Amino acid sequence: MLFKTLLLLIVTVTLCTCQLSDEEESYLFVTKHTLNRYVVQNNDLTIKYSLFNAGQATVFSIELNDIDSFPADKFDLLYGILNPKWERINAASNLTHVVILKPKQSGPCNMTHAVVTYRKSEKTNEVQTTYSSEIGELTIVSTRDYDRKFSSHFLDWILFTMMAIPCIAFPFALWFMSKTRYDTIIAKDKAKKL
C-alpha cells in the first residue's frame, strides 16, 4: 500500500510540474534576411524580420534592437525603425517587421544578428533575450559596377551600330555596284544573241 501511495504521489507531482512548465514555456524565434538579390549603393535595401512564438503562452514587452548592424554613417534609414517594440505576440503566432535602408558606400558590410528581449508573462519582470539569424557579410556593389553589369546599354548599342554601319555599308556598296555592272553586261550579251 505504501508503494502505491508513493507511486501515486510521484506521478501527481510530475504531472503538475509538467503542466505548469508547459503553460509557462514560450520560445521566440527570430529570423532576419534581406529581400534584395543585389545590395547596391544608393539603392533601397529591404530587411525583413520575422518573429515566431513557438510556445504555449503569450510573450509580452517584445523589443527588437538592430541599430548596431546598420550604423548611421553607412546607411540612411528610409522606412521603418531599427528598434521597434510590441506589446505582445500570442501563442503559436508570428509577426513581421520590414525596414528599408539606403547604403551610402560600397564595399563589404557585416550584418550581424538583431537582439530581441521579451517577458514570458505579464506578472514577471524576468527578461528573456534571444538573437535573430545573421545575414552575414555582404558586398555592397557600387552603382557604377551594377549599371555596367545590368543596365540595358541602349546608348552603347546605338554607338556600336553607328560605328559598324560604315564597315558594312562600304563593302555592300562595292558589291552592289559590281553586281549591277555585271548584270548589265550579261543583259547586253543576251540582247545581241537574240
CATH number, domain of 50, equals 2.60.40.10
Where do we find the cell 560604315? 166
9 domain-assigned: no
The whole model's pTM is what?
0.68
Provide the grid cell at 7: 507511486
Mean pLDDT of 37-53: 93
The whole-number pLDDT of residue 13 equals 60
Mean pLDDT of 162-166: 90
Q: Are residues 165 and 103 in the same domain?
A: no
pLDDT tops 80 at residue 164: yes
Q: Structural domain tally of the chain?
A: 2
166 domain-assigned: yes
Q: What is the rounded CA–CA span in Å between residue 77 and residue 37?
A: 19
Q: Are residues 172 and 99 in the same domain?
A: no
The answer to whether 83 touches 66, Cβ cutoff 8 Å, is yes
Least confident of 76-90, 96-110, 121-135: 121-135
The whole-number pLDDT of residue 2 equals 57
Parent domain of 166 = 154-193
Q: Are residues 70 and 126 in the same domain?
A: yes
Q: Are residues 99 and 175 in the same domain?
A: no
Q: What is the rounded CA–CA span in Å between residue 51 and residue 61?
A: 13
162 domain-assigned: yes
pLDDT tops 70 at residue 18: no
Q: Are residues 73 and 101 in the same domain?
A: yes
The whole-number pLDDT of residue 147 equals 83
182 domain-assigned: yes
Stronger pLDDT, 20 or 191, i.e. the higher one: 191
Torsion, CA 123, CA 124, CA 125, CA 131, rounded to 10: -120
Q: Are residues 158 and 145 in the same domain?
A: no
Q: Are residues 134 and 166 in the same domain?
A: no
Q: Are residues 106 and 183 in the same domain?
A: no
pLDDT tops 60 at residue 5: no
Mean pLDDT of 68-93: 91
